[in-house]
Every structure is written in C-alpha cells, then in structure tokens.
Chains A and B, each alone.
Chain A
Amino acid sequence: MPKARVLLIDDEREFAATLTERLGLRGYEASAAFTAEEAIAAVAASAPDVVLLDLNLPGVRGVELLMTLRQLLPQGEIILLSGHLDLAEKIEGVRLDAFGLLLKPVVMSELTAKIDAAQAKRRTHAAR
C-alpha cells in the first residue's frame, strides 16, 4: 500500500516528471498533471490523498484552480508550490484551507514530511 496517493500539478514537465519518479522511489503513488484541465480531470477521476499545486499554471489563476480543486476534493489535502513568495497568494491559500506552501526548489525531506503530515490529517478527519 502506498504511503499516499499524490497528484503533482505543474506545467514544468521536467520538474513534475522527475519529482513524481522520486516520490515513487520513496513509496508514494505519484502522478502528474501539466494543465488546469488535466488536473481537474485527474482529481475527479482518482481523488488523490494529497495534491501538490503550482500556483502559476498557464491560463488560469492559481487561487481559482485551488477553489475548484477544494470543491472536487473535500477529503483531500492540497499543498501549494510556488517559484517565489507571493504574500497575497499565501494569504489566499490559508484562507482557502490549503495545507501549506512550499517554495521551489523544494527540499525532498521537507516535502515528504509535509505530504506525510497532510496524509495524517486527512486520515484523522476520515476516521471521525
């Protein structure tokens, strides 16, 4: 059984492909979506435990996509990724109940700790 089913949403294909492979080597079932449309379809189809969402996808405001994913995935946790610290996005992310925000480039141990904490929270809520 995987530690968590993780969906990474990022238009940087090389980054997403490499990171999902690394997460796979660590016992996570990881997949990637590269556009907002792909992300919505993937979340609707497979309801991942944890979503890693880059807020700067083409053609969509990251906060709007976060709201859509939140509605599609009430039981899952969403961790935001960003290439730069945008305070407004961070505040919106907290308001919209994102589990946290990590800055790229991410440190693998910090990322997996965050995913594990998100999964633990999700399981606690599901058990209630």
Chain B
Amino acid sequence: MPPADDASVERALRAFAAATIGLAVHELNNRLAVMRETVGLMEDLARAGKSGAAGTARAHGSLDDQVGRALNIVGTLARLGSALGAAGEGFDAGAAIGDLLGLSERWARQHSLRLVADVAGNLPRAGGDPAYFLCLAHRLLVACAASQRAGGGVLLRAARDGAGIRLSLHPAGERLESAAAPANDDELINRELARRLGAELLFQGGGGPTLRLAAIH
C-alpha cells in the first residue's frame, strides 16, 4: 500500500485540533454557564431578601467546583497547545492519554460509552512528535469506541514494553453490527502517522489496535 500523502496527514492533524478545541470550548461554555447562573441566583435571592448562610455556602462550593473543572480544561488545552508546537522533543505518554480522555469524556457520554485508562506508573518518556501521537491515539480511540453499542466502551492500557511503551485499546461491550472496517484511506493515514511518530501500529484479530512507541533514553 502506498503511504498517505502530506496533504492527508495535514488534514488529519487539523481535524484533530478542530475536534479537541471544539470539545474544550463546549465544556468551558458549560462551566461558565453554571457559574453565571449560580452568581445570578445569589443576586436574585439577595434582591428578594431570601439569601441565607446555607445557600451562600452552597453557591460558593459550586463556584469553586466549576472553577476547578474549568482550570483542568485550560490546563489540558495548554498542554495540547505546547505538544502541537513541540516537534520531536518527546513526551509523557501517560499525561497525553489522560488529556485525551478528559477531552473525549463528553463525546463518550453523549454516545453512552465509557472510556477508561490504565496507565502504568513507570513509563519512560516517549520519543517522537507528540502531535502525531495525540492525533493518532485520538483517531484510534474514536474509531474503537464508535464501533461499540451504547453501554460499551474502551479501555486504554499503557505499559512498559521492553525498552519502549505499549499502548493497547481494548473494546468492552457489544460490537455494533453496522460497524465497518476502517476505510482504506483512514488506515493509510493511521499507518503514516505511526511511521512519522517512529511507532509500530498493530491490529490483532478481534481486539483493538496496539501502538508500540519508542522511548527516549
């Protein structure tokens, strides 16, 4: 099979960036909406002479929680931004997987799917360009999850593999009868992203894909 061309890989990277920014913006808007309503309710109650210590404490707790969740999203976006601009410097695969899952949580919830990570604590720093890793891992994750019926999900397992890292995706649940095999173009792009990352992409019968990453020593 011929490799995917530069334009296809560029489109895949842009699509990944657009999808993750869209998810983050949506989630941030939701946090801001809760904050605005909470503050508005405090004002309404004060105006009506109905505010009390318990209500105020509850509102403060809610605001604190929402600010914390918004800060998590901002932190994820900051890490993604620096990953997308840090060509070839290596990266923390465990943190990158955590960020991907955080950003994909709402998408999964909307499709009634669960995404779970099992990341070993002793992973070495992965080599290669994190932008290719994030884009490829996101494509594999979405394809794997979308092939499951509602109520199913995907387990992402990252573990040390000799001198490198093995990231495997395990579908959990019932496979959709209508789930199609990946289109040829998608497979070519995935293989090209893996090649540029310096990783090996394996598909084993029945299970999800596995990505073997080189480590920086």
* A residues with CB within 8 A of B: 11-12, 14-15, 18-19, 21-22, 25-26, 56-59, 83-84, 103-106, 108
Contacts and interface: CB of A to CB of B under 8 A. Distances in A.
B110 A15 contact: no
Contact of B34 (A11, A18, A26, A84): A18
Interface stretch (B23-31, B125-133, B192-200): B23-31
B41 interface: yes
Contacts of B37: 15, 18-19, 22, 105
B14 interface: no
B121 to A, nearest CB: 32
Given A21-B41, A22-B40, A12 B34 contact: yes
* Interface majority SS (helix, strand, loop, mixed), chain A: loop
Given A14-B66, A25-B45, A83-B30, 14 more contacts: A15-B30, A18-B38, A18-B40, A25-B44, A25-B48, A57-B110, A58-B109, A58-B112, A59-B111, A59-B112, A83-B29, A84-B26, A103-B29, A106-B33
A22 B44 contact: yes
Contacts of A105: 29, 32-33, 35-37
22 contacts: A11-B109, A14-B38, A15-B34, A18-B37, A18-B38, A18-B40, A21-B41, A22-B44, A25-B44, A25-B45, A26-B44, A58-B109, A58-B111, A58-B112, A59-B112, A83-B25, A83-B33, A104-B33, A105-B29, A105-B36, A105-B37, A106-B36
Which applies to chain B's interface (DSSP): helix, strand, loop or mixed?
helix
Contact of A12 (B33, B41, B110): B33
A83 B34 contact: no
A104 B30 CA distance: 7
B-side interface size class: 20 to 34
A60 to B, nearest CB: 8
A22 B33 contact: no
B116 interface: no
B77 interface: no
Nearest to B106: A56
A21 B66 CA distance: 19
Nearest to B23: A84
